[in-house]
């Protein structure tokens, strides 16, 4: 395969550090390296607290569960979610007994169709769960204005947006809490892994507890004595303060995280340079393409195509496939087409999500894409649109 969606982004040095760690440690389960990674992540990301878990999906689940508990949301209360995102932006809402209320996306930053949010707000609306899709920061000022006026909470899914910014502030610290994924193929990787960021001490404490069975001993030591005094009849080692899961990660993954984080700014810079070159390649063919999803503050996740015509999309996708370039839908297209979500709404109620579903796909972006591949893409793009232009010319003669 000439250009895969995902590649191994672990560097030789990362592996070396991991191997040395394995040889020297007697502790593999969550311990000091996890805490060290959390501190390093908080310093890089800009949030007061970070909680390392085993995936971005788990991060979303813990955040939703913690928010429900902190604010005493009732079962069936409503959370506004986008019609195009990754599925585990939606499933935590259901898993926590809440109701997802879907809103169409816009075709500029691929976040919510902001106008439509107001129309779905009801007295039961508790939060808007934003996805900064493909690394493009959503319009947080607009969302904040909307939410603050109504005491609705904002939460951010930044699983595709490490280092994306709004007015110089990194996403994940622009709302009650934010999640990140370190899955293979994201801006940095711990192979599997995720992080929750928050400035809210209650949310932090709840996430730490829920990460590990609800056990009191998981909290930082400064909290221990109060709980011991309050529950003298229970062995503190087995004191459960809330409903929990087990979504811990390991020291091994934290070691990788600490190393990968050292490269992250460089990775993001290269991804964004690739994206700029990609836009230059497409620029002469604007009449055929809907564009673009790259704005100030973007931290490019992938290189997306959105064609005006579905038949052009299909033909171009087939052409690059033949040339060994892998592609995939824009995340999963219109989620309302997914069998288990059909009960919430009909796909046609989300015309922009439908457009993305039918007319869009993306190819991979990472720090190893390189000049050769971009050059090849340029040739394929030029060839394709020249053929179309010629056939259009013939058709009008």
184 touches ligand PLP by CB under 6 A: no
Residue among 195, 255, 222 nearest 18 (CA): 255
Nearer to ligand PLP, 6 or 25 (CB): 6
Q: Which residue from 41, 45, 56, 292 is in contact with ligand PLP, where contact means CB under 6 A? A: 56
What are the strands of the beta sheet with 194-198, ordered from one edge?
49-53, 194-198, 178-181, 153-157, 125-131, 78-82, 99-103
Q: For residues 359 and 354, what is the distance between their CA atoms, to the nearest angstrom?
A: 8
Select which of 162, 186, 187, 275 is catalytic. 186
Residue 296 burial (CB < 10 Å; 0-12/13-18/19+)? Answer: exposed
Q: Which residue from 42, 50, 57, 176 is in contact with ligand PLP, where contact means CB under 6 A? A: 57
Which string of x and - marks every residue 85-124 that binds ligand PLP (by CB under 6 A)?
xx-xx-----------------------------------
Phi first, then psi, for residue 364 (nearest 5°) are -75, 150
Q: For residues 267 and 130, what is the distance between their CA atoms, to the nearest angstrom?
A: 24
Residue among 222, 218, 248 nearest 236 (CA): 218
Q: Which stretch binds ligand PLP (CB under 6 A): 157-165, 220-228, 250-258, 272-280?
A: 157-165
231 is a catalytic site residue: no
160 touches ligand PLP by CB under 6 A: yes
249 touches ligand PLP by CB under 6 A: no
55 touches ligand PLP by CB under 6 A: yes
Nearer to ligand PLP, 85 or 282 (CB): 85
Please report how close the Cβ of residue 181 comes to ligand PLP at its closest, in angstroms.
3
Q: Which stretch binds ligand PLP (CB under 6 A): 56-64, 92-100, 107-115, 288-296?
A: 56-64
Q: How many residues does the chain have?
A: 397
Looking only at the bridges linking them, the beta strands covering 165-166 and 169-170 are antiparallel
* Residues that are catalytic: 186
* Contacts with ligand PLP, residue ranges (CB under 6 A): 55-57, 60, 85-86, 88-89, 131, 157, 159-160, 181, 183, 194
């Amino acid at each position: 395969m000439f250009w895969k969606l995902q590649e191994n982004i672990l560097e030789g040095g990362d592996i070396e550090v991991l191997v040395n760690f394995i040889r020297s440690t007697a502790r593999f389960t969550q311990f000091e390296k996890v805490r060290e990674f959390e501190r390093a992540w908080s310093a890089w990301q800009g949030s007061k607290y970070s909680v390392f878990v085993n995936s971005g999906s788990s991060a979303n689940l813990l955040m939703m569960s913690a928010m429900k508990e902190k604010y005493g949301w009732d079962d069936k209360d409503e959370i506004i979610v986008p019609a195009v995102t990754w599925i585990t932006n939606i499933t935590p809402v259901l898993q926590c007994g809440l109701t997802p209320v879907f809103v169409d996306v816009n075709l500029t930053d691929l976040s919510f169709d902001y106008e439509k949010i107001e129309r779905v707000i009801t007295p039961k609306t508790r939060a808007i769960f934003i996805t900064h899709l493909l690394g493009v920061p959503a319009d947080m000022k607009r969302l904040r204005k909307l939410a603050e006026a109504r005491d609705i909470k904002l939460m951010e899914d930044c699983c595709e947006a490490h280092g994306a910014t709004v007015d110089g502030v990194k996403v994940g610290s622009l709302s009650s809490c934010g999640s990140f994924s370190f899955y293979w193929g994201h801006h940095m990787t711990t192979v599997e892994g995720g992080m929750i960021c928050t400035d809210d001490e209650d949310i932090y404490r709840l996430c730490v507890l829920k990460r590990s069975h609800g056990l009191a001993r998981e909290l930082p030591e400064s909290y221990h004595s109060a709980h011991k005094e309050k529950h003298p009849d229970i062995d503190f080692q087995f004191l459960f303060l809330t409903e929990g899961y087990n979504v811990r990660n390991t020291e091994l993954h934290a070691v990788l995280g600490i190393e990968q984080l050292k490269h992250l700014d460089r990775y993001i810079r290269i991804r964004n340079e690739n994206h700029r070159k990609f836009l230059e390649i497409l620029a002469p063919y604007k009449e055929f393409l809907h564009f673009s999803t790259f704005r100030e503050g973007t931290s490019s996740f992938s290189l997306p195509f959105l064609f005006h015509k579905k038949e052009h999309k299909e033909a171009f996708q087939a052409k690059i496939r033949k040339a060994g370039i892998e592609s995939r839908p824009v995340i999963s297209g219109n989620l309302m087409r997914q069998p288990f979500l059909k009960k919430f709404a009909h796909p046609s109620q989300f015309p922009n999500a439908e457009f993305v579903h039918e007319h869009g796909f993306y190819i991979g972006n990472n720090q190893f894409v390189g000049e050769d591949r971009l050059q090849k893409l340029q040739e394929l793009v030029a060839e394709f649109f020249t053929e179309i232009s010629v056939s259009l010319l013939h058709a009008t003669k």
